[in-house]
Amino acid sequence: MLERLKKYQFLFEELVKRDFKNKYKRTMLGMAWSILAPLLQLLVMRLVFTQFFGRTTEHYTTYLFCGMLIFTYFSDASNQGMASLIGNASIFTKVNVPKYLFLLSKNIQALINFGLTLCVFVLFCLIDDIVFTWKCVFLLYPVICLVLFNIGVGLILSALFVFFRDIQYLWGVFTQLLMYMSAIFYTIDSYSQTIQYLFLLNPIYLFIRYFRKIVIEATVPTVWFHLLMLADVAIVLGIGCWIYKKYNTKFLYYV
């Protein structure tokens, strides 16, 4: 795969540039929306939920921002990745190129937006009197896992979207449900131990929880927590790669 990426490096770079430019085409603020959009969403959620959930939660702004940072990146990458094949059908139906290039270019664009928002996140942490420790280097692990997880989800969704256009509506409902199930604006401390364990079945909650453990609590999650996250990534990425390999030639007949 790396050899093929190197072979099509120029095409891949041009796809990334094109996708990034198209996203902010005809907007007055351009790339600034990558930072303003999550900030405005954070402001709204803080105003709404502080009175209900934030009164007793220490560093609630950072707590909320951790959840939004991860979920927004996942939502952005998955939604853009879902349409990556259909949106580039005019290219791969005429030229024989690896179809996953289009998905990867969408993920790179989402990753750039995530990186920009992450810089703002660090600033908000400092304002919220968060003390960064050497344990922050462990944040590389969930970030890398999240990138691979998003690619896996994108592989699955983009393939399904080719055959079933209804998937875009179902995914919209699912992501909304997932947002409420990821404890973004509330804590799960009041739930029973069994319910808290059930939250760990949600991969997005795992990523969010990891960030909060490192940034707010300054503690490194357990080994089994790392393994559980890795297992989620391996399963989703494996399924995505298998689908692409099996239906690679059939995509041409449905776009």
- How far is CA 212 from each of CA 44, 79, 125, 142, 218, rounded to the nearest angstrom? 21, 25, 11, 11, 8
Q: Are 16 and 97 a contacting pair, CB within 8 Å?
A: no
pLDDT exceeds cutoff 90 at 19: no
pLDDT at 250 over 70: yes
Nearest to 61 by CA among 110, 121, 19: 121
pLDDT (0 to 100) of residue 209: 96
Residue 232 has pLDDT above 60, yes or no: yes
- Is the sign of the CA dihedral 216, 217, 220, 226 positive or negative? negative
pLDDT in tens, 111-142: 988 998 898 888 888 888 888 889 999 999 99
Query: Residue 80 above 80 pLDDT?
Result: yes
Which tops the pLDDT comparison, 228 or 252? Answer: 228
Return the half-sphere exposure (C-beta side, CA atoms, 13 A cut-off) of residue 109. 28
Q: What is the structure's pLDDT at 247?
A: 83
Give pLDDT, residue 228: 96
Q: Which residue has the higher pLDDT, 21 or 172?
A: 172
pLDDT band for position 226 (cuts 50, 70, 90) = very high
Q: Give the pLDDT confidence of 149-195 residue by residue, as tens digits.
A: 999 999 999 999 988 888 989 999 999 999 999 999 888 888 899 99
pLDDT in tens, 34-74: 666 666 776 776 666 666 665 567 888 889 889 999 999 99
pTM, entire model: 0.87
Position 17, amino acid: K
Give the pLDDT of residue 198: 93
What pLDDT sits at residue 32? 65
The per-residue pLDDT of the chain, averaged, comes to: 84
